[in-house]
Amino acid sequence: MGLLSRKVTCNSHGQDSSYFLGWQEYEKNPYDEVKNPKGIIQMGLAENQLCFDLLESWLAKNPDAVSFKREEQSIFKELALFQDYHGLPAFKKALVDFMAEIRGNKVSFDTDHLVLTAGATSANETLMFCLAEKGDAILLPTPYYPGFDRDLKWRTGAEIVPIQCSSSNGFQITESALEAAYQEAQRKNLRVKGVLVTNPSNPLGTTMSRNELDLLVNFVTDKEIHLISDEIYSGTVFSSPAFVSIMEVLKDRKLENTQVWERVHVVYSLSKDLGLPGFRVGAIYSNDPIVVASATKMSSFGLVSSQTQYLLSAMLSDKKFTKEYISKNHKRLQKRQNKLVSGLEKAGISCLESNAGLFCWVDMRHLLSSNTFEAEMELWKRIVYDVKLNISPGSSCHCTEPGWFRVCFANMSEDTLKLAMQRLKSFVSSITIDNQTHQDLKNMRKKNRTKWVFRLSFQSFHDREQGER
């Protein structure tokens, strides 16, 4: 061990979080309709598998892109040889156009401000390396994606200070919560370098309101710090209110020529909107030329392959396809989310009203044995080991209230979701029966105790009466 680095031997990666532990249990006993029908159903993975038929249909109709041909001539050698880490111009152009299309073309993006990375994980960490270091802090509203503890902190040395949000207002950010987090960082002798938000939110599945976005812009302007908007779920908004990008807010407020313009950065990825996490395609968009230059140099440690860029540049440049895909993706996500919500309701469970993402923020507080995080973990373990559903407990997302869980719905078939809901309903019914039996027993004991005390009191009174006589 003495020959290894401190990074290897420290335990700050976050792998021991219940978020990751649930995955490990799933991998030991994964559900399969035929081979393992009693296995654990994976509902902790935010993956979009609802539109693969559209992607595969496009691939079948565009064999040249798949076989790396241009005008029927092979370009395999061209793609296989060394490529500049700035990325293929054609792909960067197709990507920024797709980002604009998702946002209703209310904003446009310049390829010179775009840095390609191997997924959003790499994009967020690269931004942290550009903005912060040991002794610095980033403010994050709770609940937040558990992977941020790894992505933002593990190698950079920066710290996360939570912005405490509550269910009383749907977990929206408030000015007082922002200020409290800023003051908490200062009490810890940490220099606040910025605020990071996910919009739409992971794990809430909600879009940020215009008021929240304005509040954030005002806050980072006043504190002279950065704002990172992780918008990797921007193409999953399936109902109102519509998604509003932070870039749209800056444009509407005419802040292009101000200092805050260069301190706002956007993270994007094709992992959620196109359902391609295995392709490892992410991006940083920044108006600060120094950040762009530095992030581009750092991107050499996590490049997107030229073959991937070529294939996706052809796909995203097909405007007829992207328009159809975005529309059908929204409809399918909404339909699937409705099925999850309906299934939960039949089990007597509600969730936060949502309009985006690949998951719901589910309220199971009424199923806790007590209002504690210990009770939440007890419930979570029963759901994983007994019910055989891997869901993510709110404590892994740093939620301040026990009893909330993130439940994913887009990474499985409709039949598998139906089975998951049947399992959950049976479990809730068994808890209700157990609780009722327990309550009946308590009531019976209380009733018997009351009768016993009454009889004892009556007997004591009778004895006294007899004695006095």
Q: Which of 144, 145, 182, 325 is an active site residue?
A: 145
Among all chains, which residue has been given the structure tokens 């301040």? Answer: 400
Q: Residue 75: how many CB atoms within 10 A of its CB? A: 16
290: annotated active-site residue: no
145: annotated active-site residue: yes
Q: Which of 97, 136, 230, 363 is an active site residue?
A: 230
Amino acid symbol at 16: D
Backbone angles phi, psi at 238, to 5 degrees: -110, -5
**Whole-number Å distance between alpha carbons of 186 and 43:** 38
Q: Which of 92, 153, 193, 272 is an active site residue?
A: 272
Beta bridge partners of 42: 390
Residues with Cβ within 8 Å of 325's Cβ and at least 6 positions away in sequence, in order, are 51, 54, 55, 274
**Whole-number Å distance between alpha carbons of 437 and 433:** 6
230: annotated active-site residue: yes
232: annotated active-site residue: yes
Q: Which of 138, 160, 232, 383 is an active site residue?
A: 232
Backbone angles phi, psi at 133, to 5 degrees: -155, -170
Backbone angles phi, psi at 249, to 5 degrees: -65, -45
Residues classed as catalytic: 145, 230, 232, 272
